[in-house]
Amino acid sequence: MIRIARVGDISVGDVVRRSPFAGVAGAEETLKECLHRSIEVRYGLIDGKIACVWGLIPPTILSEQAYLWLITTDIIAEHKFLFVRNAQRYVEEALKQYPELIGEVGDARAVRWLKWLGAEFTPLVEGKIAFTIRKR
C-alpha cells in the first residue's frame, strides 16, 4: 500500500543509504539542507517503508517558482507506476501554488520520470540538465 504524508521524523542516514546517493560525500548534509530550506516536504511510504522524500524550495517568499527536489530509495524500482501516478497528482497541486517548478537532474531514469510530468529541459554544466515544469 502506498501512502503520501507530510514529513515527520525520518532517518536521513537511512534514506541516503538506500538511495542512488549512498556513498556520495556530503549527501546526508545536502538532504538535511533541502529538508531545512523547504517550504513543504512530503514522503512516500510503501508498506510502511520510506520510498521517497521530496520538497519545494522557493527562492524567495514572493516567488512564482519553486525548486523541486526528490530523493528515492531502492523501493521505488518495484513500484514505478504507483510512483509516477502519485507524482503527477502532487505536481498538479504544486503548480496551483507555483506556476513553475524548476530543478536539475543528472540521472536518465529521472529524466524519463520528469518527461511524464511535462518537464522541459535545458543543458546545464557538469553533466546535469535543468528542467522546468509549467502550469498548463
Burial label, 131 (beta-carbon count in 10 A; 0-12, 13-18, 19+) = buried
- Residue 83 C-alpha cell reads as 510512483
pLDDT of 68 reads: 94
**How confident is the model at residue 37, as a pLDDT?**
93
Show me where the domains of the chain are located: 2-98
* 67-70 contacts, C-beta under 8 A, 24 or more apart: 67/101, 67/102, 67/103, 68/94, 68/101, 68/102, 68/103, 68/133, 69/34, 69/38, 69/103, 70/110
In CATH, what class is 2-98? Answer: alpha beta
Summary mean pLDDT of the chain: 86
Per-range mean pLDDT, top range of 8-22, 62-76, 102-116: 62-76
In tens, the pLDDT along 45-73 reads: 888 888 888 999 999 888 999 999 998 88
Residue 126: pLDDT band (50, 70, 90) is: confident
The answer to whether residue 1 scores a pLDDT higher than 60 is: no
Check residues 135 and 26 and name the one with the higher pLDDT.
Answer: 26
- pLDDT computed for residue 131 by the predictor: 95
pTM for this predicted structure: 0.85
Average pLDDT on 87-114 reads: 89
pLDDT for the residue numbered 26: 92
Would you state the pLDDT for residue 8? 64
Higher pLDDT, 8 or 30: 30
Percent residues over pLDDT 90 in the chain: 36
